[in-house]
Amino acid sequence: MQQGTRVPVHVCVIRRHQDGFTPTNSPNIGRFQEKSHLVMTGSIQDLDGIESRSSDGRLVGRATRLWPRGSPSPSPPEGRTACAPYRGQVCAFLLLNQTVLVRPPDTLAIVEERVRDALSVVQDSPDLSQECSEFAAPGICLSAFPPCGAGGEPRRICRDECELLRDARCKREHAIALAHPILSQVELPVCERLPPVGSPEAAGCLRLGVPDVAPPRPEDACFHGDGAGYRGVEARAASGRRCRAWSRHGQYARLARRQPAVLGGHAFCRNWPGEGRPQPWCYTASEGGGVQAELCAVPRCHRPLLWYIWYIVLPCGSLAVLALLSAALGCLCRCARRGPATKPSADTKLTVVAEKPRTDPELAADPPPKPQAIELELKSISFREELGEGQFGKVFRGELSDYGTDGAPLPVAVKTLKEDVSARTERDFEREGRLLAELCHPNIVRLLGVVQRATPRCLVFERMSGGDLHALLVARSPRGDGAAGPPLTEQHLLHIATQVADGMAYLGTHHYVHRDLAARNCLVGDNLTVKISDFGLSRDIYSSDYYR
C-alpha cells in the first residue's frame, strides 16, 4: 500500500445495551460473523501497510496504521496509569466517546497498533470458529482498552463469560493466541484474577452476551422444583457452614460443563437436572478437613394466594356443574319411564377390599444411625452478651470461631447449663441436645453443636438476624412507624406462613410435637427466612411485652 492513499473501509456497528454489547442491524454484521472479518468506516489518509507472513510465505495478517502520520496520540501523564478518551479507529465500533485505561509506558497509539495487528491476523485466520467469531473483536478490544468506571477503576469482562469463552467456545483460539507472536502482544485477561461474579468488585463487569451464561440474580430468595433454575446468592448450607467456591473443587471443569451456573468463582448454592438432589446445594469443609456436599438453607417458593383460591374454586365449580348435569339426566330418565324409580334391593351389600400389607425388604433392615451433635471446643465460643435465663441456665449471644471455611466468626445463641443442677435436669439437658441434633430443615433453627466435656456445658444454636416473628409483624404492620421497612404484603405473609407450615410438617413426619407454636417462637433471618425455634429457646432470647 502506498503512503498518502485514501482507503475506503466499512463498519461493523455495535450498539451498547446496559453492561453488554449487542450488534445492530448493520448490513455488514452477517459478513463479520460469517467470515470473521472486522472492518471499519470512513477513510484514513497517510497510512502504512504492514503484512505478516508465515515461514512458508502464506499471508496471515495485513494491517494498517490507524493514527495519521505525525498526529499526536492521547496518552496519560508520564509514569502514571490514567483514563483517557478513546480517539482511535479500530475499536471505535465499541468504545467511541468512552474513556479507557492507559498504562505507561504505553500510549493509546501503541496499544492501538497492537490491537490492529491482532485483528488483522484474526480476520484472515482459518482457525477462527463460527461460535467464537462474534466475540473475538469485542473481547480483544475490551482487554486492550478496559473502559473506566465512575471512580476511574477499569471495568473488565465478567469472570463467568471469561471462563466460558476460554474453556469452551474459544478454547482452541485462546490456546493459539497465547503462542502467536502478534496475538500474544495483546494482554488477554487471566480469568482467575477477575473478581468472582456476585461480589461487590464485579458489580460493574462487562457482559458480551455469551450464550449459556447464567449470571446471579440476588432477587431470587427461594427456589421452585428441585432448584435447577435458582440463581440467588445464598452461600451457606443448612448446617450453618459457609459454602466453598465451586472453582476450588477438583472436578470444577466437569461441573461447569454440566451446569454453567457454577462458573465465575462464586460459592452460591446451585443445583441442576439429573444431579439427584432435591434442592440447591454446595460443597463445605468437613470436620476431618475434607470436602462434603450439603443442602443449602434456601426456602422453597410458594404460589400466590390467588393461585390456591383458584385451585379450590375450579374443582368445586366442576363438581357443582357435574351434580346439576346428573340431576337433569335423572329427571329425564324418570320422565321417559313414566314410573317410580326402582328402589335398590335391601339385600344389596357394600364390599370393602382391604389392601394386603406389603412386605418391603428395605423396611425390615436395621434403621440408619441417628445423627449425633457435633462436640465443640469451649474456647471456640466467645460469650458477648447475656440475653436471659431459661429452664437450664443463662442464654448468651456469642460468636463461634473455626466453624466455617473462611474463618469468619459465626453469630450464635448459646444455651448453658448452670452448676449444681439435679441429675434429672442434667439428663433433660443432654436429651434435648440429642433430639435437636436429629433435626435438619431450612425452616427449623439448627443446633450447631454442644459442649459436654467442659464447664459450662452448652447447646450452641444458629442466631437469626431479624429477631422473632411477632416483633416483625408488629413493626411492619400497616399501623407501624415504617422504621423497620414497608408493611408486609399478602404475598409476604403467605411466604411466611408456608415456611412455618413446612417446618411443622417436617416435625410431624419425625413424630415431634412442638407444644408451643407461636409467632414469638419463630425467628426471622435474611430475605424473610422464617425458622421455628426449639422449645422455649426464643422465649429466653427475645424478650418483649408480648409475654407480660
CA 422 to chain centre: 49
Q: Is 160 a catalytic residue?
A: no
Contact call for residues 453 and 374 (beta carbons, < 8 A): no
Other C-beta atoms lying within 10 Å of the C-beta of residue 191: 22
User: Of 136, 147, 59, whose CA–CA distance to 98 is shortest?
Assistant: 147
What single-letter amino acid sits at 145? Answer: F
H or E stretch covering 331: helix 305-337
Residues 6+ apart with CB under 8 A from 24: 13, 14, 15
C-alpha 498/C-alpha 468 separation (Å) is: 17
Residues 6+ apart with CB under 8 A from 384: 396, 397, 398, 399
The answer to whether 343 is a known ligand-binding residue is no
CA 197 to chain centre: 9
Backbone torsion region of residue 75, taken as left when φ is above 0, otherwise alpha when ψ lies between -120 and 50, otherwise beta: beta
The CA-atom distances, in angstroms, between 69 and each of 7, 45, 200, 532 are 15, 9, 43, 75
Residue 81: CA atoms inside 13 Å, Cβ hemisphere, count?
Answer: 9
List for the chain the helix, strand, coil content (%; round to 5): 30, 20, 50
What single-letter amino acid sits at 467? Answer: G
The CA-atom distances, in angstroms, between 502 and each of 170, 313, 464, 495 are 46, 24, 18, 11
State the DSSP string of 281-309: EEEEE-TTSSEEEEEB--PBP---HHHHH
- Looking at 160, 516, 526, 534, which residue is catalytic? 516
Contact call for residues 540 and 388 (beta carbons, < 8 A): yes
C-alpha 534/C-alpha 464 separation (Å) is: 13
Write out the catalytic residue numbers.
516
Per the annotation, binding residues are: 415
